[in-house]
């Protein structure tokens, strides 16, 4: 995982644990922003497009935000999968098509075409669910 992705997932995790109750924005770089709304929903925006959202019910939603299937988007989504859903799912590309694979196997029987989004439950120590 790249340095910015490590910082990004750590900052995101700290906002999940301590949402605060008021809207805040945190710009990590000119393209990477973390936002928290007044209801405690935490969002990660890549170039102002929300690709990761977490609600206080404990659900994380990953999205390519309308088909922005770039290597940066894929790398950021995989960073969140590694940080919050380790070893369970991974996004990869083959012949210009994105796939999501589940479990220890890659590329074959445990894969399906990426449909643009993925939801999973998150358990965060010291925070919601």
Predicted confidence band of residue 126 (pLDDT cuts 50, 70, 90): very low
Residue 20: per-residue pLDDT: 60
Residue 128: per-residue pLDDT: 43
List beta partners, residue 113.
99
Predicted confidence band of residue 1 (pLDDT cuts 50, 70, 90): low
For 41-91, write each residue's pLDDT tens digit: 889 999 888 899 998 888 888 888 767 788 888 899 889 988 888 877 888
Determine the average pLDDT of the residues in 92-117.
74
Determine the average pLDDT of the residues in 19-35.
76
Where in the sequence is the domain holding 83, given as residue range(s)?
A: 3-121
| 89 found inside a domain | yes
| 40 found inside a domain | yes
Q: What is the mean pLDDT of the chain?
A: 79
CA neighbor of 127 nearest in space, from 16, 38, 10: 16
| 128 found inside a domain | no
List beta partners, residue 44.
34, 52
Selected residue with higher pLDDT from 48 and 104 = 48
| 66 found inside a domain | yes
The count of structural domains within the chain is: 1
| 126 found inside a domain | no
Determine the average pLDDT of the residues in 25-39.
84
| 127 found inside a domain | no
């Amino acid at each position: 995982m790249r340095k910015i992705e490590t910082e990004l997932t750590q900052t995101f995790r700290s906002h999940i644990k301590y949402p605060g109750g008021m809207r805040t924005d945190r710009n990590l770089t000119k393209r990477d922003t973390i936002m928290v709304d007044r209801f405690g929903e935490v969002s990660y925006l890549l170039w102002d497009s929300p690709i990761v959202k977490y609600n206080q019910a404990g659900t994380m939603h990953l999205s390519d935000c309308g088909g922005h299937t770039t290597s940066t988007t894929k790398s950021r989504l995989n960073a969140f999968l590694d940080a919050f859903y380790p070893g369970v799912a991974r996004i990869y590309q083959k012949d210009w098509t994105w796939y999501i694979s589940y479990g220890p196997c890659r590329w074959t029987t445990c894969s399906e075409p990426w449909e643009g989004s993925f939801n999973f439950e998150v358990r965060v120590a010291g925070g919601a669910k």
